[in-house]
Amino acid sequence: MTEDSICIEVNRKQGELTIRLAKKIGLINKDYKIQNYQENLYIPLLRQPNESELELLNRFLSGFKISKGSFSPKKNNIKKISDLLEDKIPDHLLKILPQSMDIVGDIAIIDIPNDLKKYDTILGNAILEINKNVKTVLSKSSPVKGVYRLRSLEFISGENRTTTIHVEFGCKYHLDVAKAYFSPRLSQEHNRVSSLVNKRKEVIIDLFAGVGPFSILIAKNNPDVKIFAVDINPVAIEFLKKNIRLNRVDKTVIPLTEDARNLIDKQFKGSADRVIMNLPEKAKDFIDIACEMIKPNGGIIHYYEFIRYPDSIKQAQTRFCELVKDVGRKVNCFLSVKNIRETAPYQHQVAFDVKID
Ligand SMILES: C[S@@+](CC[C@H](N)C(=O)[O-])C[C@H]1O[C@@H](n2cnc3c(N)ncnc32)[C@H](O)[C@@H]1O
């Protein structure tokens, strides 16, 4: 059995160095075996490397190619959790095993259906056995809620802790999954927004920054910009400060523990080229603030919202335009409108990139 994956194709002589580099920036897909063919090695990757990662690879390697290949999964991953649990859980419950989980650093977070709750430790141990990089299994015991956007988590098996270090696009994030928001499901979005920043000396305000996955990645790729990373949760900002040091972006990212609403009384009025508004539950209440922050000659807002059926993306766009108009600004155009993920039945998270005049 083989599966397709993006990979680095490199001459065997440079194999070891390539593996070391790719590991260091968190690119290697450890679920697949590395392949040998003629003079070349094919090293499976988790994703397409971004610009700065390619730059790093180019700096150390004399010739490599990003391509696609067929790879055999490693033995551990072929064994499905359900195989491991066959004799331990009744058959009808095997059918409702969780089909996915979030892996943040070395912590797996799963949603256990009620009927499976009394088998949670057995399930947790199976996850640890199959995913050698996972050291802790937690289960979700509430939805994401409250101002800090946290959920209650219950310890299931492994090491009893909620702190970890997560690697995303070569950046390291020290975080506590119980005390500060973080979702690995937003990684493509962090990278997408970061790849849109291309103007030197841009001023960016990340209004709901969390532990910094937008701000730090942007700063890594664009050391000349200035980013104010704001969050109301003091624990998130403590981790953000650590992450700024860990990723060596102290000259670019300025952390602020603040309610975004209070910022407009400070020096931020008319100062920003770009405002990131990743608080989908409430972002519409802050459109006025974001518009006031955008420079008088215009800028871009990256806006996130949850759309629940029968509400529609079109209606959300109309609402957005009206709220911008209410504060005396104008939507020049929607540069991008994207449905980025399903967050509940009949509910999606959408992302708008909007040019404001
Ligand atoms: C959905 S999380 C996004 C975090 C981060 N951008 C990410 O992608 O991981 C929203 C963040 O907004 C923060 N927040 C909520 N209300 C806020 C407010 N009024 N001012 C500043 N931050 C706020 C929460 O503490 C939370 O960390």
Cα(200) to ligand 1 centroid in Å equals 26
Q: Which residue has the tokens 């299931």?
A: 156
Among the CATH numbers 3.40.190.10, 1.10.460.10, 3.30.70.2580, 3.40.630.30, which is that of 3-75? 3.30.70.2580
Which of 232, 237, 268 to mutate to test ligand 1, by most ligand atoms within 8 A of the CB atom? 232
Residue 341 φ then ψ, to 5°:
-170, 155
Helix and strand element counts for the chain (H, E): 11, 17
Residue type, 339: N
Q: What is the mean pLDDT of residues 178-200?
A: 90
User: How far does residue 22's CA lie from ligand 1's centre (Å)?
Assistant: 31
pLDDT, mean of residues 310-334: 95
In angstroms, the CA 250 to CA 245 distance is: 6
pLDDT tens per residue across span 287-310: 999 999 999 999 999 999 999 888
Q: How far apart (Å, rounded) are the C-alpha atoms in residues 75 and 1? A: 11
Q: What is the dihedral sign for C-alpha 224, 229, 234, 236?
A: negative
- Lowest average pLDDT, out of 156-165, 239-248, 275-284, 338-347, goes to 338-347
| Of 162, 159, 197, nearest in space to 181 by CA | 162
End-to-end Cα separation, the chain, in angstroms: 54
pLDDT-derived band of residue 32, with 50, 70 and 90 as boundaries?
A: confident
d(CA 216, CA 274) in angstroms, rounded, equals 15
How far apart CA 261 and CA 277 sit, in angstroms, is 12
Q: How far is CA 31 from CA 77, 100, 262, 336, in A?
A: 7, 15, 46, 34
Mean pLDDT of the chain: 91
Residue from 150, 208, 288, 302 to probe ligand 1 pocket by mutation (most atoms less than 8 Å from CB)? 208
Q: How far is Cα 354 from Cα 56, in angstroms, rounded to an integer?
A: 32
Residue 144, token pair as written in the block: 């994401």
Evaluate whether 286 touches 261 at the Cβ level (below 8 Å).
yes
The residues facing 355 across adjacent strands are 300, 333
Q: Could you tell me which of 201, 192, 170, 355 has the C-alpha nearest to residue 278?
A: 192
Q: 286 pLDDT exceeds 90?
A: yes
Helix axes 51-60, 213-221, angle to 10 degrees: 50
172-356: what CATH class? alpha beta
Residues in CB range of 277: below 8 A, 6 or more apart: 207, 208, 283, 286, 287, 290, 301, 302, 303, 304
- Which residue ranges have their beta carbon within 6 Å of ligand 1? 147-149, 181-182, 186, 208-210, 213-214, 230-233, 236, 259-261, 278-279
CA distances to 13, 34, 224, 253 from 41, rounded to whole Å, are 9, 7, 37, 38
Q: What pLDDT shows up at residue 95?
A: 81
User: 3-75 and 172-356 share one CATH topology?
Assistant: no
pTM of the model: 0.80
Q: Could you tell me the two tokens for 344?
A: 């509940």
44 cis-preceded (ω within 30 degrees of 0): no
Judge whether 61 and 14 are in contact, CB under 8 Å.
yes
Ramachandran angles phi, psi of 143, nearest 5°? -75, 170
Return the pLDDT at 91.
Answer: 86
* C-alpha 236 to ligand 1 mean position (Å): 9
Q: In the chain, where are the structural domains located?
A: 3-75, 79-161, 172-356
Per-residue confidence (pLDDT) for residue 347, from 0 to 100: 82
Per-residue pLDDT at 77: 52
From 290, 314, 275, select the one nearest 196 (Cα to Cα). Answer: 275
Residue range 79-161, CATH number: 3.30.300.110
DSSP 22: H
How far does the centroid of ligand 1 lie from the alpha carbon of residue 186, in Å?
13
With a cut of 90, say whether residue 63 has pLDDT above it: no
Alpha carbon of residue 330 to chain centroid: 30
pLDDT, one tens digit per residue, over 219-274 is: 999 999 999 999 999 999 999 999 999 999 999 999 999 999 998 877 899 999 99
